[in-house]
Amino acid sequence: MCGRFNLIATSDTIIEHFRLKRLPKYRTDFNIPPGQKILNIVQLEDGSNKSVYLHWGLIPSWSKDTKIANRLINARAETLADKPSFRSAYSKRRCLIPATGFYEWQQTETGKQPYHVHFPDNRLFAFAGLWEHWENSNETIYSCTIITCPALAPVSDIHERMPVIINLENYGDWLNKQTLEIDVLAFDQTFSYQQMELTPISQHVNNPVHNDEACIQPIQIAH
């Protein structure tokens, strides 16, 4: 799964990378947990990209309440076309979720060891995501989820699943509103993940309140 990530790129870098006209109020974030609004890139009717903040934890339009969001922070790539929670969004409401790294925990004999998964230069990339619109008589919520797939190396060394990364050259294909049928697993994951590093970090990141550079500070672990 993907339950925590970071976005520490500059606003200018994000605007250029995703070919945006502007960026909403933005600040770098070293420790992004589910349940809050996160930056998303969606496609407008004219084909241009727009950045928006959506609640991380999908709420299907048919849901009776918002509690389901806690269970839908991730969507399994293998069942997107079949699951009622994701089927409609998969064909009509795809998005990109900007990130510079994500966190995963490896179970060890002494407890869970956190790792920062990132490119060597902490460069910007994007998760594959889906978004939804939900409303009742009192409120309207736009929400999103991060798509995951079976883990490849090096992530498979510490966990069985990983977030799907969409490569820069495939952004347009993934966001294209005219394409109703698409296979997210057809996008090459190997190229991106072979370049990524697994950096052991301290337990500081475990507390989602902590939001500083110490979250990604490397540590030495005993072997």
Choosing from 95, 104, 132, 149, the catalytic residue is 104
Tell me the pTM: 0.96
Q: Please give the backbone phi and psi of residue 195, each rounded to the nearest 5 degrees, phi first.
A: -90, -10
pLDDT digits (tens, 9 = 90+) for 99-135: 999 999 999 888 999 999 999 999 999 999 999 999 9
pLDDT digits (tens, 9 = 90+) for 128-160: 999 999 999 889 999 999 999 999 999 999 999
Q: Please give the backbone phi and psi of residue 24, each rounded to the nearest 5 degrees, phi first.
A: -60, 175
Of 132, 183, 185, give the one whose Cα is nearest residue 162: 185
- Which tokens is 84 given? 């009622």
Is the CA virtual torsion 72, 117, 127, 139 positive or negative? Answer: positive
Choosing from 2, 95, 144, 149, the catalytic residue is 2
| Spatial CB neighbours of 47, under 8 Å, sequence gap ≥ 6 | none
d(CA 209, CA 30): 10
Tell me the CA distances in angstroms from 215 to 75, 116, 203, 210, one per residue in order: 26, 9, 8, 7
Active site residue 109: no
CATH fold of the domain at 5-216:
hypothetical protein yedk fold (3.90.1680)
Of 100, 163, 104, 157, give the one whose Cα is nearest residue 129: 163
Beta pairing class for 140-150 and 49-56 = parallel
Domain ranges of the chain: 5-216
CA angle 173, 97, 73 (to 5 degrees): 115
Active site residue 139: no
Beta pairing class for 140-150 and 111-118 = unpaired
Average the pLDDT over each of 44-48, 55-59, 209-213 and give the range with the smallest value: 44-48
